[in-house]
Amino acid sequence: MNAKRILITGGAGFIGSHVVRLFVNKYPDTEIVNLDALTYAGNLENLSDVENKPNYKFEKGDITDEPYINDLFDRYDFDGVIHLAAESHVDRSITDPLSFIKTNIVGTVNLLNAARNKWKDNGENKLFYHISTDEVYGSLGETGFFTEQTPYDPRSPYSASKASSDHLVRAYYHTYKLPVVISNCSNNYGPNQFPEKLIPLVINNIKNMKPIPVYGKGENVRDWLYVVDHARAIDMIFNEGKKGETYNIGGNNEWRNIDLIKVMCSILDKKLGREPGMSESLITFVKDRAGHDLRYAIDSGKLMSELGWKPSLQFEEGIEKTIDWYLENEKWMKNVIDGTYESYYKKQYVDR
């Protein structure tokens, strides 16, 4: 690692906190600056174990605030940026697309502009790393995989905003020679994920004997990757990825939602000492998500063959670890589920 100072945006969120932890611990001689607006999804409790490390610094700020971002780049001499800050939940993008446009597109352009201004004379050893999603590729049928060559076909306001930011990052590479790299990852799971997303929501509802909302028939397929393995891939790509390139990251681990939920029900029945089948009785089919993508599946062949990445654990182990973490961290869950979460939940699931 040559970088003396790295900006990580969105470091108080789910994936960002795992990336910050990995970098702070692995690179004690590199200063890690975590910039986060602390929206409903940002939680500094996720980083309590590294907050006092000498190479960690937190900056509260909004990437949509252009003067603030320019000032931040003036105050720090960043060698690299790992950009994760985003509005990330598809359902919220359906009810409020504009906030996704502002953060995911305008926010990304503010960062690109600031990096371009600061690095215009010494860009060779710098890197702007943009973290994106497999959802930009659209929806697969029953077969096939997304590769780095798959044409973009985003279908939700969230994925359209991420696709737009990816295009802008590539445009800055070609037009201004800004040194960039992009990765597109499949669904992450693990500790610290906000319980609006499927896996923590299901764990929390089972624990509290609340209905498990399954969209449509539960036949949609997602490719799940343990979040720590995404963070490891980000580390490799930041250090060894080729400028101007894109890398897909996936778990090679496809599950139909309904099958995944049933596995979680059965694990939780055992862990909570319940009769077999008790948690499954909570499964409730609800109205489908608008424009619900059928299937995502990632081909990570390029990342594996060029950089030697592979996931460190199998899904069976990852889901056990994840469930144990949520059961052991009741206080974390209580703290993130405040009145705002309750009113979101009511609007999304009860009043729809």
**Residues tagged active-site:** 134-135, 158
Query: 341: how many CB neighbours lie within 10 A of its CB?
Result: 14
What is the β-pairing status of strands 254-256 and 80-83? Answer: unpaired
Taking the complex as a whole, the smallest distance from the CB of residue 310 to ligand DAU amounts, in Å, to 19
- With CB under 5 to 8 Å by kind, the binding choice for 85 among ligand NAD, ligand DAU, none is ligand NAD
Residue 62 C-beta-side C-alpha neighbours within 13 Å: 10
- With CB under 5 to 8 Å by kind, the binding choice for 198 among ligand DAU, ligand NAD, none is ligand DAU
Q: Is 296 in the site for ligand DAU (CB under 6 A)?
A: yes
| Cα 71–Cα 165–Cα 8 angle in degrees, nearest 5 | 45
Interface map 201-220 toward ligand DAU (x if CB under 6 A): x-----------xxx----x
Distance from the first to the final alpha carbon of the chain: 49
- With CB under 5 to 8 Å by kind, the binding choice for 12 among ligand NAD, ligand DAU, none is ligand NAD
Q: Is 226 in the site for ligand NAD (CB under 6 A)?
A: no
How many Å apart are CA 158 and CA 66, to the nearest integer? 22
Q: Which residues make Cβ contacts (< 8 Å) with residue 22, sequence separation at least 6?
A: 228, 231, 232, 234, 235
- With CB under 5 to 8 Å by kind, the binding choice for 147 among ligand NAD, ligand DAU, none is none
Q: Is 246 in the site for ligand DAU (CB under 6 A)?
A: no
Q: Are 311 and 231 in contact (CB under 8 A)?
A: no
Interface map 96-135 toward ligand DAU (x if CB under 6 A): -------------------------------------xxx
Nearest to 16 by CA among 34, 28, 40: 34
Instruction: Give the footprint of ligand DAU on this chain (CB under 6 A).
Output: 88-90, 133-135, 186-187, 197-198, 201, 213-215, 220, 222, 257, 289, 296
